[in-house]
Structure 1
Amino acid sequence: VTCGTSTEYSNPVLVTLNPPFPGGTYTINSALPTSGTNYQSFTDAAAALACGIAGPVVFNVAPNSGPYNEQIEITEIFNSSSTNTVLFNGNGNTITFETTAADRYIIRLNGANYVAFNNLNIVSISADNNFGFHLINDASYNVITNCFIDLTSTLSNTGSTNAGIVISGSTTSAITAGNNGSNNIIINNRIVGGYYGIAINGASAANNSMNNMITNNSIEDFQYYGIYSRSISNSVISNNDIHRPTRPATSLFIGYYQVTSGENNLISSNRFFDSFAGISGTSFSASYAIYHTGVTASVGNENKVINNVIHLNGSNGTIYAIYNINSGHIQYYHNTILLDDPNSTGGTTRGFYQTTSNTGIDIRNNIFSVTRAGTGAKYCLYFNTATSTITSNYNVLHMDAPAGTNHIGYYSGNFTTLSDWQTANSGAYGQNSVAANPQFVNPSQSLLYPLNSLIDNLGTPLGVTNDVTGANRSTTTPDIGAYEFSPVNKDVEIFNLTSSLAPCYGTNDTLKISVINIAATTLDFSQDTLHINWSISGASTASGTASVYSGTLPGGDTIVVNLTNSMNLSAIGMHEISATVNSAWDEIPFNNNTIQEITVDSVYAVISSDSVCSGNDANLALVGSAANIQWQVNDGNGFINITGANQATASYAVTSNMEFRANYCNNKISDTLSVVEINLPAPVTQNDTVCFDNPATLSATGPGTMNWYTTATGGSSIHSGSTYTTTLPATTTFYVEASTSGTGGSDSLLTTIQAGNACGGGSMFNITALSGAITVTGFDVSLTGQVSQTVNVY
């Protein structure tokens, strides 16, 4: 401090500068404290990055150390780069958190760059307000790979507050424009649930999100949008499976949606299918596989929709496989579309639909096959706006719907046949197109590989060098549709893996598989041996190869092959069985594999009550993997079969103390159930005689509770107790019964948990009420060991 010519100095102030976090490999392990090279939580690890990094950092999460119940936010990391990256290697661990409306994320990258998450399970808890991953504030160059984003807790929620992966300018909306990030990679993930599977938003038409990659993901059971994109460019959306196999309640199905702006995007080799597979009953919601609205690219930077396979069905609503609203300079090349729902009763159907004038719309080398049932109007192509500039040629236009008003195309009017369509717009469309049935290999499995040689080599070269599988395309006569194919001479498809003992699984079981010859040529197995590799994993393990050396299989016919006669499925749990054709002569690789999961449950018997009044029924049930059931009773003279009691549930009138059991699965015997007959003597009653309109008191004595009625049988009790007083206007007869019932009791259950097992340390048990209800009054937990422990009770 200076005052005139005098200066005084304060005590020195020390500022300590924390150094950047050292590059290297660290662990995250909840069983160990945060110290040295270990962090007890993801939050602790994220906090260590607050001052930046000095080199590449890897966090290896200890296997089976989760679940981690936390909400993780990583902000901008000083000195991160393409060299100095941060990797969280999850090793299959789970992060879960109950989010709120204000903070919807489980993991958020808030301006963070060059961060990667690999092999994590991200699990929501609540029905709404869940973003699995949220990227905001220009979070760029990040990678999300091999993760399972499990939003199944949201499946009953129809609101828009849930999404698997979000790149958005809002903390509470998945679809807000903003400078949210570019160059992000989302690859090899499985996303289940949410209103949006993935939502990615750029700032504006002038400031797009650039160079993103969304590839090889399975996006399942979303409510509305599989992938929602706004103002993105130079991005790749490829090889994704977008479908709703099990969601019970849904709205519209929009597989890929792009709005506002964007150019030079590649939407390629995606599969859109099972749009309404999980519903029960009838839906009238619409389906759209690929939807552009207000997206116009520049010449030379066209958006490309190439090699996609679209198979939409399962509702009575409108289906537009490809939808274009006011979107220009888009190349629709080599896509295969099948709209074939045989159970539909109505709904407008259009393979391709365009409306609102625009230019540069190019539709070539596509298959449009429409065989959908129902009364709705159906079109392969529908050009609603005559002023739009559209190229449409070299397409397979197959219309064979069994009902409704059906046309090949629409342009200022209906054109019913291909020859009609070739006259539309002064002959502008379809001069080299054909109207032929593609004869797909297996439409029921959305395997849309054509077999019809009449459409082979009919495409025109458009610079698409590979098909949906990555196979090379002909540079001179490419095939129309997503698959580059040749007429099939020899090929089989395998399906329907079964156990001969099912559901009575056990040792020495026979594993069977069905084999169909999908070609017209008869197969001679003495010349072309059929080899099928099989394996079992999970609760049991085994593998082998089955071969067929003799016999013939005509085209279209099916045989059943025994893969092994010594399969052992006796272990309780889930057995995953797979089979693969391994014969060099088999020409189509895409139908050579099938997988079947078989769950073997323990079998046990239960009874409604262990004490039953004489003459009343004991209700029996056999739970688990069982068949060929025969219930038996022992009333003191040995077990005998109960006539007609051949189902999982049965009833039997109790006339003495009895035992019950079930014979199942060829002489396996269940546990024995005992029931005690309750035989109450009739109550002893005392009548009463009174003057008119005076109270009468009736009494009854006997064991149990006295219940009073006004009818001899049936009706509702009017009073309980040994005496009943009432005032009556006339002589009246009442009836009384004696009843006895237990109120149960209390008991405790002890379970010991060994921490660190394959489930992360845990125990699960079932409590079954044989009669009445069970009230769980509390849990007591006793912890042992030398380290901090967390116990979660669900």
Structure 2
Amino acid sequence: MKKILLTITAAVLASVGFAQLSGTYTVNGGSATGGTNYQTFAAAFSALTSNGVSGPVTFNCIEGTYNGQVYMSNASISGTSTTNTVTFQADAGNTNEVLWQHTSYPLYMYNTNLNNVSFDGLHMKTSSTYSSVVYMYRGLHTNLTWENCTFTGANTSSTSTSYSIIYGYFNSPHNVVFSNNTFTGGSHSITYYYSDYYNYTNTCSVVIEDNVMTDYYYRGMYLYNYSGYRTKFTVTGNEITGGGYSYPYGIMCYYADDGSEFSYNNVNAYGTNGGYAGYFYQAYGTSANPVLIYNNIFQVDAPNSSYTQYGLYNSYGYYTKMHHNTIRVSNSYAYSRAAYLYFTSSAYQGNEFTNNIVVSDQTGPYTVYAYIYPNALVMDNNAYSVNGGSEIYNYNGYTGTTAYNLSTWQSGASQDANSVADGPSFISSANLTPQSATINNIGDALGYTDDINLQTRSTTTPDPGAIEFSVPTNNAQPGSLVTPDAPLCDNDTTLSIMLANPGLVALTSCSLHYSVNAGTPVSTAWTGSIAPSNDTLVVMETSINFDDGDELMVWTTMPNGVQDSSTLADTISLTLWEGMSGTYAIPADYTTIADARDALETKGVCDDVIFNIAAGTYNESVSFGDISGVSEAATVTFQSASGAWNSATIEYSNNYTIDFAGADWITFKNLKVMNGSGNVFRMSGSSDHVTVDGCWAKGATGTSTTSQSLFYMQGVGHDLTLTNNRLERGASWFYSTSGGTTSKKMNLTIEDNEIKNQTYYGSLIYYFDGVE
């Protein structure tokens, strides 16, 4: 009798221990696991994979920090379906976040079948520099969703996909959704691979929508669908900005399947060297289900970057429809391309490039660099501009056409019959809303009903680009401030603007206003005549004094005596700083060289500025960007206070010690500048009139000419002088391959230097005109 009773008891306990889950549970680290509560995410997943589910299951996750990893190998949750879903969500009563973190791979899934599972409102984080947050390797994942979550990835300087915030390598059918999440850090925000070696017919789906991706190191998204496999990508409504790497990518996609869509994305991939905002390779659209790329902003907003920028890169695709995109590059590098379109044979059919705005901010880059086999690509109703004007720089490798104006392009390339060449007059680099009457309403009616901001788009006369806009009949804008000009110097005693007319009719009158430090506005009435899309100089004050730190605001109202129907860009506001001049001491006046740099970049200069650096060692890595006011009569010099090169030492042990990233008319004199593993001097931007004189530059004992040289020139600056220096060690004492046959660097002077003990290479001097 006792034996029978014991057996029954054991059976009851077993049935309780393995009961399938159904209903509502909690994940609460403040309470022990038991009843309907699980103390950790690992405990909850253990119950799910051990027991399965018999109905919908919800885990309300209580605020707090949960340290630990969920590791699943060859696991699954039995019983899930589109009805019997599993949801982990932040509890509605939380006032603080639910943080699920682990040093590496908080959620690790190997060959796991995780279906009909969602995560909502959680913060998932890795504290490692070499880890993903969510790692999925093989397995079957259907209806797997993350929404309203925050992801914090590795703080890494690696380009490896292994350190992506989300890493997914799939070899079975799957359907994965990322919606309304925030991604910060990681080498990539999302990396996706798909390859099923046994089945080419599986149709898979990845949805990435309404996410914010910032501060990734290398790529925002890397989507790789191996050629011949079937993944439909829906990438829409994402904000993608970042790239700590010198050459980052926003979206990079290989082999998108038919029906894929990339839309409403705002992508800015800015790197010190260059970058790709949108990169698409061999998309497999069909005539019935094309790949759509529309209502996107693709830009590389880094005017001082020194190498190639690509706004939109698309090659070898089939039936890709590129419509209503705003595409922009910002630097002056000769091989930058706003749009790169490469379709080299008759096999690549059905591609369209229509209703786009394509802009190069500066002279030098191509607006379009293309190879267009006949009938592979149709281009029309686009707006092109170089440097805000009516010039273009388009190239078609098939016909050999190089065009600097639209008519040459139209006749030589047989494209863009209804396109225009004129600047879009963006409000700013941060707001790419056009204001140009010339490009207004030039688009072809393609059936799109809204723009990137979900504003109504005309279905009969749409605007090109991602943003639908309207041009008011009457408009007046302070196009730019002429005086006072930054920096604030003794001769800045007038207030004048370029008064612009972006309206549709002549501007004959308006009211002009200004205020200083938010004080009482001073107003004046202006009369005259400015034709549409023109401007004129207007002096608002002939005698006025400004002080250091004054906040100046200038604005316009009542164009042609009526209310302004568009107040965008009707106001200019800025802080006025007195420019620097004279001699300063480091560390007496400025504690560090970086502090002095900050002052220069903030205030600018009015006359020669000298920084005398006291004896000692300064452990710094300092990059010098644009300094307003510099000229031959107003230079900047950093020099040893004693005049001896072994007195003041600037040293660092990585990347670079001194970088010229846009600063002109700057000299380093009689200093010892060292780097134990990186470049001693680097020119990453377009810096002119840079001099290194009487210095002892001592570098690393390495073999990398691009990262361990005494002077590595990435940029395209002119008038570089190296004189009277001791150039010791380094993989190379001078290495430069920047520029090109049509964009040579001018004037390099190298004389009276002692050069010795380089560890790999002497020098490489390439694309210079005028070397002595």
TM-score relative to the length of structure 2: 0.57
Q: Which amino acid aligns with 2:419?
A: S
Alignment of 1:721-736 (within 5 A): none
C-alpha distance in 1 between matches for 2:539 and 2:326: 27
C-alpha distance in 2 between matches for 1:289 and 1:203: 26
Would the alpha carbon gap of residues 233 and 45 (structure 1) be closer, same or farther in structure 2, given more than 3 Å must change?
same
Deviation at 1:66, TM superposition (A): 1.0
Determine if the alignment matches structure 1 residue 400 to structure 2 residue 387.
Answer: yes
Point out the more displaced range, 219-228 or 449-458. Answer: 219-228
C-alpha distance in 1 between matches for 2:454 and 2:284: 28
C-alpha distance in 2 between matches for 1:586 and 1:256: 39
2:286 counterpart (286, 298, 321):
298
Contact 1:320 1:353 in 2 (8 A): no
Contact 1:365 1:393 in 2 (8 A): yes
Match of residue 106 from structure 1: 107
Q: Which amino acid aligns with 1:328?
A: Y
Q: Secondary structure at the match of 2:459?
A: coil
Match of residue 326 from structure 1: 316
Match of residue 79 from structure 2: 79
Q: Which amino acid aligns with 2:299?
A: H
Deviation at 1:197, TM superposition (A): 1.4
Q: Which amino acid aligns with 1:106?
A: L
Alignment of 1:718-757 (within 5 A): none
Would the alpha carbon gap of residues 35 and 17 (structure 1) be closer, same or farther in structure 2, given more than 3 Å must change?
closer
C-alpha distance in 1 between matches for 2:371 and 2:307: 19
Contact 1:260 1:293 in 2 (8 A): yes
Would the alpha carbon gap of residues 82 and 620 (structure 1) be closer, same or farther in structure 2, given more than 3 Å must change?
same
Would the alpha carbon gap of residues 54 and 440 (structure 1) be closer, same or farther in structure 2, given more than 3 Å must change?
same
Deviation at 1:238, TM superposition (A): 0.7
Match of residue 117 from structure 1: 119
Deviation at 1:590, TM superposition (A): 9.1
Residues 33-54 of structure 1: CA deviation (Å, up to 9, x unaligned):
1112221111111122132222
Match of residue 601 from structure 1: none
Deviation at 1:302, TM superposition (A): 0.4
Determine if the alignment matches structure 1 residue 216 to structure 2 residue 210.
Answer: yes
C-alpha distance in 2 between matches for 1:408 and 1:479: 24
Determine if the alignment matches structure 1 residue 59 to structure 2 residue 59.
Answer: yes
Q: Which amino acid aligns with 2:466?
A: A
C-alpha distance in 2 between matches for 1:306 and 1:214: 15
C-alpha distance in 2 between matches for 1:558 and 1:467: 39
Deviation at 1:269, TM superposition (A): 1.0
1:441 counterpart (424, 427, 437):
427
Would the alpha carbon gap of residues 311 and 71 (structure 1) be closer, same or farther in structure 2, given more than 3 Å must change?
same
Residues 293-323 of structure 1: CA deviation (Å, up to 9, x unaligned):
2322222110000010122143222222222
Contact 1:202 1:209 in 2 (8 A): no
Q: Which amino acid aligns with 1:310?
A: F
Deviation at 1:206, TM superposition (A): 2.6
C-alpha distance in 2 between matches for 1:462 and 1:620: 59
Determine if the alignment matches structure 1 residue 450 to structure 2 residue 452.
Answer: no
2:459 counterpart (475, 481, 496):
475
Deviation at 1:89, TM superposition (A): 1.6
Residues 68-89 of structure 1: CA deviation (Å, up to 9, x unaligned):
3333549422222222222212
Q: Which amino acid aligns with 1:31?
A: G
Match of residue 161 from structure 1: 162
C-alpha distance in 1 between matches for 2:54 and 2:26: 18
C-alpha distance in 2 between matches for 1:199 and 1:558: 55
Deviation at 1:106, TM superposition (A): 3.1
C-alpha distance in 2 between matches for 1:619 and 1:463: 63
Determine if the alignment matches structure 1 residue 266 to structure 2 residue 261.
Answer: yes
Deviation at 1:17, TM superposition (A): 4.4
Match of residue 193 from structure 1: 185
Q: Percent identity?
A: 25
Alignment of 1:102-251 (within 5 A): 104=105, 106-108=107-109, 110-134=112-136, 136-154=138-156, 156-169=157-170, 178-179=171-172, 181-182=174-175, 184-203=176-195, 206-207=200-201, 210-231=204-225, 233-244=231-242, 247=244, 250-251=245-246
Q: Secondary structure at the match of 1:438?
A: coil
C-alpha distance in 2 between matches for 1:257 and 1:558: 49
Residues 482-519 of structure 1: CA deviation (Å, up to 9, x unaligned):
111110456999xxxxxxxxxxxxxxxxxxxxxx9996
Q: Secondary structure at the match of 2:454?
A: coil
C-alpha distance in 1 between matches for 2:193 and 2:117: 19
Match of residue 36 from structure 2: 37
Match of residue 463 from structure 1: 447
Deviation at 1:186, TM superposition (A): 0.5
Match of residue 378 from structure 2: 391
From the CA coordinates, give the structure whose radius of gyration is larger: 1
Q: Secondary structure at the match of 2:174?
A: coil
Would the alpha carbon gap of residues 551 and 47 (structure 1) be closer, same or farther in structure 2, given more than 3 Å must change?
farther
Determine if the alignment matches structure 1 residue 361 to structure 2 residue 348.
Answer: no
Contact 2:184 2:215 in 1 (8 A): yes
Deviation at 1:251, TM superposition (A): 4.7
Residues 714-739 of structure 1: CA deviation (Å, up to 9, x unaligned):
xxxxxxxxxxxxxxxxxxxxxxxxxx
Would the alpha carbon gap of residues 117 and 265 (structure 1) be closer, same or farther in structure 2, given more than 3 Å must change?
same
C-alpha distance in 1 between matches for 2:173 and 2:189: 18
C-alpha distance in 2 between matches for 1:96 and 1:223: 20
C-alpha distance in 2 between matches for 1:107 and 1:297: 34
Match of residue 93 from structure 1: 98
Would you say how many aligned residue pairs link Structure 1 and Structure 2?
Answer: 511
C-alpha distance in 1 between matches for 2:150 and 2:33: 27
C-alpha distance in 2 between matches for 1:589 and 1:140: 49
Contact 1:517 1:558 in 2 (8 A): no
Deviation at 1:591, TM superposition (A): 8.7
Alignment of 1:670-685 (within 5 A): none
Deviation at 1:220, TM superposition (A): 2.0
C-alpha distance in 2 between matches for 1:475 and 1:517: 30
Contact 2:30 2:39 in 1 (8 A): yes
Deviation at 1:432, TM superposition (A): 0.5
C-alpha distance in 1 between matches for 2:477 and 2:200: 52
C-alpha distance in 2 between matches for 1:433 and 1:448: 19
Alignment of 1:633-712 (within 5 A): none
Residues 437-482 of structure 1: CA deviation (Å, up to 9, x unaligned):
1101112x1x111100111111111121211111121111111111
Match of residue 68 from structure 1: 67
Q: Which amino acid aligns with 1:236?
A: T
Residues 510-546 of structure 1: CA deviation (Å, up to 9, x unaligned):
xxxxxx99966787699xxxxxxxxxxxxxxxxxxx9
Q: Which amino acid aligns with 2:275?
A: S
Deviation at 1:219, TM superposition (A): 1.5
Deviation at 1:117, TM superposition (A): 1.2
Match of residue 406 from structure 2: 418
C-alpha distance in 2 between matches for 1:619 and 1:523: 47
Contact 2:327 2:338 in 1 (8 A): no
Match of residue 655 from structure 1: none
C-alpha distance in 2 between matches for 1:225 and 1:479: 30
Would the alpha carbon gap of residues 492 and 423 (structure 1) be closer, same or farther in structure 2, given more than 3 Å must change?
closer
Where do 5+ consecutive residues of structure 2 fail to align? 1-6, 91-95, 479-498, 527-534, 541-562, 572-586, 593-613, 616-772
Would the alpha carbon gap of residues 476 and 164 (structure 1) be closer, same or farther in structure 2, given more than 3 Å must change?
same
Contact 1:179 1:209 in 2 (8 A): no
Q: Secondary structure at the match of 1:46?
A: helix
C-alpha distance in 1 between matches for 2:567 and 2:139: 45
